[in-house]
Structure 1
Protein backbone atom coordinates (compact mmCIF):
# COMPACT_ATOMS: atom_id res chain seq x y z
CA UNK A 1 0.00 0.00 0.00
CA UNK A 2 2.83 2.31 0.91
CA UNK A 3 4.66 1.47 -2.29
CA UNK A 4 1.62 2.38 -4.43
CA UNK A 5 1.40 5.80 -2.82
CA UNK A 6 5.13 6.30 -3.26
CA UNK A 7 4.91 5.27 -6.95
CA UNK A 8 2.06 7.75 -7.60
CA UNK A 9 3.98 10.52 -5.87
CA UNK A 10 7.08 9.68 -7.93
CA UNK A 11 5.11 9.80 -11.22
CA UNK A 12 3.55 13.15 -10.31
CA UNK A 13 6.92 14.59 -9.31
CA UNK A 14 8.41 13.39 -12.59
CA UNK A 15 5.68 15.16 -14.56
CA UNK A 16 6.39 18.41 -12.75
CA UNK A 17 10.10 18.00 -13.29
CA UNK A 18 9.77 17.79 -17.08
CA UNK A 19 7.53 20.87 -17.48
CA UNK A 20 8.76 23.84 -19.50
CA UNK A 21 8.71 27.49 -18.78
CA UNK A 22 7.10 29.54 -21.58
CA UNK A 23 8.31 33.09 -21.94
CA UNK A 24 5.86 35.93 -22.37
CA UNK A 25 6.74 36.41 -26.05
CA UNK A 26 6.13 32.73 -26.79
CA UNK A 27 2.79 32.85 -24.95
CA UNK A 28 1.64 35.83 -27.02
CA UNK A 29 2.63 34.09 -30.27
CA UNK A 30 0.87 30.86 -29.29
CA UNK A 31 -2.25 32.80 -28.20
CA UNK A 32 -2.31 34.81 -31.44
CA UNK A 33 -1.99 31.70 -33.61
CA UNK A 34 -4.72 29.90 -31.64
CA UNK A 35 -7.01 32.91 -31.90
CA UNK A 36 -6.54 33.20 -35.67
CA UNK A 37 -7.15 29.48 -36.15
CA UNK A 38 -10.21 29.55 -33.91
CA UNK A 39 -11.85 32.64 -35.40
CA UNK A 40 -10.65 32.29 -39.00
CA UNK A 41 -12.58 35.37 -40.13
CA UNK A 42 -12.09 39.10 -40.21
CA UNK A 43 -13.72 40.76 -37.22
CA UNK A 44 -15.10 44.16 -38.12
CA UNK A 45 -17.08 46.05 -35.56
CA UNK A 46 -19.42 48.97 -36.22
CA UNK A 47 -20.34 51.51 -33.57
CA UNK A 48 -24.09 51.50 -32.82
CA UNK A 49 -23.88 55.02 -31.38
CA UNK A 50 -22.26 56.34 -34.54
CA UNK A 51 -24.81 54.59 -36.76
CA UNK A 52 -27.68 56.02 -34.68
CA UNK A 53 -26.24 59.51 -34.80
CA UNK A 54 -25.72 59.36 -38.56
CA UNK A 55 -29.31 58.21 -39.10
CA UNK A 56 -30.67 60.85 -36.75
CA UNK A 57 -28.85 63.65 -38.58
CA UNK A 58 -29.51 62.38 -42.11
CA UNK A 59 -31.96 59.50 -42.60
CA UNK A 60 -30.28 56.64 -44.43
CA UNK A 61 -26.75 57.68 -43.47
CA UNK A 62 -26.59 55.04 -40.71
CA UNK A 63 -27.56 52.36 -43.21
CA UNK A 64 -24.78 53.54 -45.54
CA UNK A 65 -22.33 53.47 -42.59
CA UNK A 66 -23.37 49.85 -41.92
CA UNK A 67 -22.80 49.01 -45.59
CA UNK A 68 -26.50 48.30 -46.17
CA UNK A 69 -26.67 50.49 -49.27
CA UNK A 70 -30.05 49.19 -50.42
CA UNK A 71 -31.79 50.31 -47.21
CA UNK A 72 -30.92 54.01 -47.59
CA UNK A 73 -33.29 54.67 -50.55
CA UNK A 74 -36.06 52.89 -48.66
CA UNK A 75 -35.56 55.21 -45.68
CA UNK A 76 -35.45 58.25 -47.96
CA UNK A 77 -38.59 57.12 -49.78
CA UNK A 78 -40.59 56.45 -46.62
CA UNK A 79 -39.66 59.71 -44.94
CA UNK A 80 -39.96 61.75 -48.14
CA UNK A 81 -43.38 60.27 -48.92
CA UNK A 82 -44.53 61.02 -45.38
CA UNK A 83 -43.34 64.62 -45.64
CA UNK A 84 -45.10 64.93 -49.03
CA UNK A 85 -48.42 63.63 -47.69
CA UNK A 86 -48.15 65.82 -44.61
CA UNK A 87 -47.56 68.89 -46.76
CA UNK A 88 -50.40 67.97 -49.14
CA UNK A 89 -52.99 67.42 -46.41
CA UNK A 90 -51.80 70.53 -44.54
CA UNK A 91 -52.44 72.62 -47.68
CA UNK A 92 -55.93 71.17 -48.11
CA UNK A 93 -56.74 71.67 -44.42
CA UNK A 94 -55.62 75.32 -44.60
CA UNK A 95 -57.65 75.88 -47.80
CA UNK A 96 -60.86 74.51 -46.25
CA UNK A 97 -60.20 76.33 -42.97
CA UNK A 98 -59.94 79.71 -44.72
CA UNK A 99 -63.09 78.89 -46.71
CA UNK A 100 -64.87 77.92 -43.47
CA UNK A 101 -63.83 81.16 -41.75
CA UNK A 102 -64.89 83.17 -44.83
CA UNK A 103 -68.28 81.40 -44.78
CA UNK A 104 -68.75 82.29 -41.11
CA UNK A 105 -67.83 85.95 -41.80
CA UNK A 106 -70.15 86.11 -44.82
CA UNK A 107 -67.34 86.69 -47.34
CA UNK A 108 -67.10 84.91 -50.68
CA UNK A 109 -64.67 82.04 -51.10
CA UNK A 110 -63.78 79.30 -53.58
CA UNK A 111 -66.67 77.07 -52.49
CA UNK A 112 -69.37 79.76 -52.10
CA UNK A 113 -72.76 78.33 -53.00
CA UNK A 114 -71.32 74.80 -53.33
CA UNK A 115 -70.59 73.88 -49.69
CA UNK A 116 -72.11 75.27 -46.53
CA UNK A 117 -70.25 75.96 -43.26
CA UNK A 118 -70.98 72.53 -41.80
CA UNK A 119 -69.63 70.71 -44.87
CA UNK A 120 -66.54 72.92 -44.93
CA UNK A 121 -65.93 72.09 -41.25
CA UNK A 122 -66.21 68.35 -42.01
CA UNK A 123 -63.68 68.60 -44.87
CA UNK A 124 -61.37 70.70 -42.71
CA UNK A 125 -61.47 68.12 -39.90
CA UNK A 126 -60.94 65.21 -42.30
CA UNK A 127 -57.86 66.76 -43.90
CA UNK A 128 -56.50 67.77 -40.50
CA UNK A 129 -56.86 64.16 -39.30
CA UNK A 130 -55.15 62.86 -42.45
CA UNK A 131 -52.33 65.38 -41.96
CA UNK A 132 -51.86 64.25 -38.37
CA UNK A 133 -51.79 60.58 -39.39
CA UNK A 134 -49.25 61.32 -42.13
CA UNK A 135 -47.12 63.25 -39.64
CA UNK A 136 -47.28 60.39 -37.11
CA UNK A 137 -46.31 57.82 -39.73
CA UNK A 138 -43.44 60.03 -40.91
CA UNK A 139 -42.13 60.29 -37.34
CA UNK A 140 -42.50 56.52 -36.97
CA UNK A 141 -40.51 55.95 -40.20
CA UNK A 142 -37.81 58.33 -38.91
CA UNK A 143 -37.57 56.46 -35.59
CA UNK A 144 -37.50 53.07 -37.35
CA UNK A 145 -34.70 54.39 -39.57
CA UNK A 146 -32.62 55.12 -36.45
CA UNK A 147 -33.52 51.80 -34.77
CA UNK A 148 -32.67 49.84 -37.93
CA UNK A 149 -29.24 51.48 -38.16
CA UNK A 150 -28.57 50.77 -34.48
CA UNK A 151 -29.60 47.11 -34.66
CA UNK A 152 -27.62 46.55 -37.87
CA UNK A 153 -24.52 48.00 -36.21
CA UNK A 154 -25.00 45.72 -33.19
CA UNK A 155 -25.42 42.66 -35.41
CA UNK A 156 -22.72 43.59 -37.92
CA UNK A 157 -20.13 41.21 -36.48
CA UNK A 158 -22.57 38.29 -36.31
CA UNK A 159 -23.06 38.15 -40.06
CA UNK A 160 -19.30 37.61 -40.46
CA UNK A 161 -19.16 34.92 -37.79
CA UNK A 162 -18.79 31.38 -39.19
CA UNK A 163 -19.82 29.91 -35.82
CA UNK A 164 -23.37 31.26 -36.24
CA UNK A 165 -25.10 30.55 -39.53
CA UNK A 166 -28.64 30.22 -40.74
CA UNK A 167 -29.92 29.37 -44.17
CA UNK A 168 -33.15 28.20 -45.81
CA UNK A 169 -33.50 24.46 -46.26
CA UNK A 170 -35.97 22.09 -47.92
CA UNK A 171 -36.92 19.11 -45.77
CA UNK A 172 -39.39 16.26 -46.14
CA UNK A 173 -42.45 16.43 -43.91
CA UNK A 174 -42.65 13.27 -41.79
CA UNK A 175 -46.45 12.99 -41.94
CA UNK A 176 -47.30 13.81 -45.56
CA UNK A 177 -43.88 13.14 -47.16
CA UNK A 178 -44.20 16.45 -48.98
CA UNK A 179 -41.27 18.87 -49.22
CA UNK A 180 -41.43 21.72 -46.73
CA UNK A 181 -39.36 24.86 -46.43
CA UNK A 182 -37.55 25.42 -43.16
CA UNK A 183 -34.73 27.42 -41.62
CA UNK A 184 -31.47 25.74 -40.64
CA UNK A 185 -29.69 27.46 -37.72
CA UNK A 186 -26.19 26.33 -36.69
CA UNK A 187 -24.31 27.26 -33.54
CA UNK A 188 -20.70 26.18 -33.10
CA UNK A 189 -19.04 26.52 -29.73
Structure 2
Protein backbone atom coordinates (compact mmCIF):
# COMPACT_ATOMS: atom_id res chain seq x y z
CA UNK A 1 0.00 0.00 0.00
CA UNK A 2 2.89 2.36 0.81
CA UNK A 3 4.52 1.73 -2.57
CA UNK A 4 1.24 2.44 -4.35
CA UNK A 5 0.87 5.78 -2.47
CA UNK A 6 4.45 6.80 -3.34
CA UNK A 7 3.92 5.89 -6.97
CA UNK A 8 0.70 7.95 -7.06
CA UNK A 9 2.47 10.99 -5.58
CA UNK A 10 5.33 10.74 -8.06
CA UNK A 11 2.90 10.38 -10.96
CA UNK A 12 0.89 13.42 -9.82
CA UNK A 13 4.06 15.47 -9.38
CA UNK A 14 5.28 14.50 -12.84
CA UNK A 15 1.90 15.41 -14.30
CA UNK A 16 2.05 18.84 -12.65
CA UNK A 17 5.53 19.50 -14.06
CA UNK A 18 4.60 18.45 -17.57
CA UNK A 19 1.33 20.38 -17.72
CA UNK A 20 2.50 23.63 -16.09
CA UNK A 21 4.36 24.98 -19.18
CA UNK A 22 1.39 24.22 -21.37
CA UNK A 23 -0.92 26.19 -19.09
CA UNK A 24 1.49 29.14 -18.92
CA UNK A 25 1.66 29.20 -22.70
CA UNK A 26 -2.09 29.52 -22.99
CA UNK A 27 -2.68 32.66 -25.11
CA UNK A 28 -5.73 33.47 -23.03
CA UNK A 29 -3.36 34.50 -20.23
CA UNK A 30 -0.53 36.48 -21.85
CA UNK A 31 2.57 37.01 -19.74
CA UNK A 32 3.70 40.04 -21.70
CA UNK A 33 2.05 43.13 -20.24
CA UNK A 34 2.59 45.04 -23.46
CA UNK A 35 0.65 42.41 -25.41
CA UNK A 36 -2.15 42.47 -22.85
CA UNK A 37 -2.38 46.28 -23.10
CA UNK A 38 -2.71 46.19 -26.87
CA UNK A 39 -5.40 43.48 -26.80
CA UNK A 40 -8.08 45.73 -25.32
CA UNK A 41 -11.73 45.05 -25.70
CA UNK A 42 -13.79 47.30 -27.98
CA UNK A 43 -15.23 50.30 -26.16
CA UNK A 44 -12.47 50.52 -23.54
CA UNK A 45 -10.19 53.53 -23.22
CA UNK A 46 -7.04 54.48 -21.38
CA UNK A 47 -7.47 56.17 -18.00
CA UNK A 48 -5.36 59.27 -17.64
CA UNK A 49 -3.05 58.74 -14.65
CA UNK A 50 -3.28 61.23 -11.80
CA UNK A 51 -0.57 62.24 -9.36
CA UNK A 52 -1.70 61.41 -5.79
CA UNK A 53 0.72 63.97 -4.38
CA UNK A 54 -0.59 66.72 -6.64
CA UNK A 55 -4.19 65.77 -5.88
CA UNK A 56 -3.51 66.01 -2.13
CA UNK A 57 -1.76 69.37 -2.48
CA UNK A 58 -4.57 70.80 -4.59
CA UNK A 59 -7.14 69.48 -2.08
CA UNK A 60 -5.74 71.94 0.49
CA UNK A 61 -8.13 74.29 -1.29
CA UNK A 62 -11.40 72.37 -0.82
CA UNK A 63 -12.68 70.85 -4.05
CA UNK A 64 -9.59 71.40 -6.21
CA UNK A 65 -8.26 67.89 -5.58
CA UNK A 66 -11.56 66.33 -6.59
CA UNK A 67 -11.68 68.55 -9.67
CA UNK A 68 -8.14 67.52 -10.63
CA UNK A 69 -9.21 63.86 -10.43
CA UNK A 70 -12.21 64.60 -12.64
CA UNK A 71 -14.66 63.70 -9.86
CA UNK A 72 -16.81 66.79 -10.28
CA UNK A 73 -19.85 65.03 -8.83
CA UNK A 74 -18.07 65.01 -5.46
CA UNK A 75 -17.82 68.82 -5.29
CA UNK A 76 -21.36 69.39 -3.92
CA UNK A 77 -20.69 66.76 -1.24
CA UNK A 78 -17.40 68.39 -0.23
CA UNK A 79 -18.83 71.90 -0.07
CA UNK A 80 -22.01 70.79 1.72
CA UNK A 81 -20.04 68.89 4.37
CA UNK A 82 -17.55 71.70 4.98
CA UNK A 83 -20.18 74.44 4.78
CA UNK A 84 -22.48 72.64 7.21
CA UNK A 85 -19.70 72.00 9.70
CA UNK A 86 -18.47 75.62 9.56
CA UNK A 87 -22.02 76.90 10.05
CA UNK A 88 -22.35 74.60 13.08
CA UNK A 89 -19.15 76.04 14.55
CA UNK A 90 -20.46 79.57 14.00
CA UNK A 91 -23.87 78.83 15.54
CA UNK A 92 -22.45 77.07 18.60
CA UNK A 93 -19.96 79.89 19.12
CA UNK A 94 -22.79 82.47 19.04
CA UNK A 95 -24.76 80.60 21.68
CA UNK A 96 -21.67 80.13 23.83
CA UNK A 97 -20.86 83.84 23.74
CA UNK A 98 -24.46 84.72 24.60
CA UNK A 99 -24.17 82.81 27.86
CA UNK A 100 -20.60 83.96 28.41
CA UNK A 101 -21.73 87.60 28.18
CA UNK A 102 -24.53 86.94 30.68
CA UNK A 103 -22.06 85.17 32.98
CA UNK A 104 -19.71 88.16 33.06
CA UNK A 105 -22.60 90.43 34.01
CA UNK A 106 -22.45 88.88 37.48
CA UNK A 107 -18.97 90.35 37.98
CA UNK A 108 -17.38 93.77 38.13
CA UNK A 109 -15.33 94.00 34.93
CA UNK A 110 -12.72 96.30 36.47
CA UNK A 111 -11.93 94.14 39.48
CA UNK A 112 -13.21 90.69 38.49
CA UNK A 113 -15.08 90.38 41.79
CA UNK A 114 -18.84 89.70 42.12
CA UNK A 115 -20.86 92.78 41.29
CA UNK A 116 -22.53 94.71 44.09
CA UNK A 117 -25.89 93.31 45.14
CA UNK A 118 -25.47 90.00 43.31
CA UNK A 119 -26.75 86.91 45.14
CA UNK A 120 -27.24 83.26 44.23
CA UNK A 121 -30.86 83.97 43.31
CA UNK A 122 -30.09 86.95 41.11
CA UNK A 123 -31.27 86.50 37.53
CA UNK A 124 -29.70 88.06 34.46
CA UNK A 125 -31.13 88.42 30.94
CA UNK A 126 -29.77 85.96 28.38
CA UNK A 127 -30.40 85.86 24.65
CA UNK A 128 -31.64 82.35 23.82
CA UNK A 129 -31.51 81.46 20.10
CA UNK A 130 -33.56 78.94 18.14
CA UNK A 131 -31.70 75.84 16.84
CA UNK A 132 -30.90 77.45 13.46
CA UNK A 133 -30.79 81.02 14.79
CA UNK A 134 -34.00 81.93 12.96
CA UNK A 135 -35.45 83.58 16.07
CA UNK A 136 -34.32 84.45 19.56
CA UNK A 137 -35.83 85.52 22.87
CA UNK A 138 -34.56 86.96 26.14
CA UNK A 139 -34.87 84.87 29.28
CA UNK A 140 -33.98 85.58 32.90
CA UNK A 141 -31.71 82.87 34.30
CA UNK A 142 -29.75 82.41 37.51
CA UNK A 143 -25.97 82.21 37.60
CA UNK A 144 -26.02 78.43 38.02
CA UNK A 145 -28.27 78.00 34.97
CA UNK A 146 -26.11 80.32 32.91
CA UNK A 147 -22.90 78.50 33.88
CA UNK A 148 -24.34 75.10 32.92
CA UNK A 149 -25.54 76.33 29.53
CA UNK A 150 -22.27 78.18 28.92
CA UNK A 151 -20.27 75.00 29.49
CA UNK A 152 -22.61 72.97 27.26
CA UNK A 153 -22.32 75.32 24.30
CA UNK A 154 -18.56 75.66 24.74
CA UNK A 155 -18.28 71.87 24.53
CA UNK A 156 -20.50 71.81 21.44
CA UNK A 157 -18.39 74.52 19.84
CA UNK A 158 -15.16 72.61 20.48
CA UNK A 159 -16.61 69.36 19.13
CA UNK A 160 -17.86 71.09 15.99
CA UNK A 161 -14.41 72.62 15.44
CA UNK A 162 -12.82 69.16 15.68
CA UNK A 163 -15.45 67.74 13.34
CA UNK A 164 -14.81 70.47 10.77
CA UNK A 165 -11.09 69.78 10.91
CA UNK A 166 -11.68 66.05 10.48
CA UNK A 167 -13.92 66.61 7.45
CA UNK A 168 -11.30 68.90 5.91
CA UNK A 169 -8.56 66.29 6.39
CA UNK A 170 -10.80 63.57 4.97
CA UNK A 171 -11.34 65.57 1.76
CA UNK A 172 -7.56 65.69 1.28
CA UNK A 173 -7.19 61.97 1.97
CA UNK A 174 -10.07 61.17 -0.37
CA UNK A 175 -8.45 63.12 -3.21
CA UNK A 176 -5.16 61.27 -2.67
CA UNK A 177 -6.79 57.82 -2.57
CA UNK A 178 -9.00 58.59 -5.58
CA UNK A 179 -5.91 59.55 -7.60
CA UNK A 180 -4.35 56.18 -6.73
CA UNK A 181 -7.49 54.31 -7.77
CA UNK A 182 -7.68 56.04 -11.17
CA UNK A 183 -5.24 53.48 -12.57
CA UNK A 184 -6.50 50.52 -10.52
CA UNK A 185 -7.59 47.75 -12.88
CA UNK A 186 -11.15 46.59 -12.24
CA UNK A 187 -11.85 45.33 -15.78
CA UNK A 188 -12.98 41.90 -16.91
CA UNK A 189 -9.38 41.04 -17.83
CA UNK A 190 -8.74 40.07 -14.22
CA UNK A 191 -8.99 36.27 -14.05
CA UNK A 192 -8.07 33.26 -11.99
CA UNK A 193 -7.27 29.72 -13.04
CA UNK A 194 -6.67 26.55 -11.09
CA UNK A 195 -4.21 23.85 -12.06
CA UNK A 196 -2.15 21.01 -10.59
CA UNK A 197 0.91 21.86 -8.56
CA UNK A 198 3.41 20.46 -6.10
CA UNK A 199 3.66 21.16 -2.39
CA UNK A 200 6.99 20.85 -0.61
CA UNK A 201 6.45 18.92 2.61
CA UNK A 202 9.14 19.34 5.32
CA UNK A 203 11.31 16.29 5.87
CA UNK A 204 9.63 14.52 2.96
CA UNK A 205 9.34 14.45 -0.78
CA UNK A 206 7.08 16.69 -2.83
CA UNK A 207 3.37 15.97 -2.54
CA UNK A 208 0.71 16.62 -5.18
CA UNK A 209 -1.31 19.76 -4.70
CA UNK A 210 -3.38 22.43 -6.34
CA UNK A 211 -2.16 25.85 -7.51
CA UNK A 212 -4.26 28.97 -7.99
CA UNK A 213 -2.88 31.48 -10.53
CA UNK A 214 -4.20 35.06 -10.69
CA UNK A 215 -3.69 36.88 -13.98
CA UNK A 216 -3.61 40.68 -14.09
CA UNK A 217 -3.61 42.82 -17.17
TM-score w.r.t. structure 2 length? 0.55
Q: Distance in 1 between matches of 2:188 and 2:139?
A: 73
Which residue of structure 1 aligns with residue 81 of structure 2?
Answer: 78
1:34 deviates by 3.1
Contact 1:54 1:62 (8 Å CA) reproduced: yes
What residue in structure 2 maps to residue 119 of structure 1? 145
For structure 2, the residue ranges without an aligned partner over 5 or more in a row are 1-31, 109-114, 117-122, 127-137, 192-213
Which of 148, 153, 164 is the equivalent residue of 1:138? 164
Q: Supply the distance in 2 between the matched residues of 1:137 and 1:33 (Cα, whole angstroms).
A: 47
TM-score by length of 1: 0.63
Alignment of 1:1-189 (within 5 A): 34=35, 36-38=37-39, 41-56=45-60, 58-105=61-108, 106=115, 110-111=125-126, 114-158=140-184, 161-164=187-190, 188-189=215-216
Residues 69, 160 of structure 1: alpha-carbon distance in 2 compared, 3 angstrom cutoff: farther
> How many corresponding residue pairs?
137
Measured on the aligned residues, the alpha-carbon RMSD in Å equals: 2.9
Q: Higher strand fraction: Structure 1 or Structure 2?
A: 2
TM-fit CA distance, 1:126: 0.5
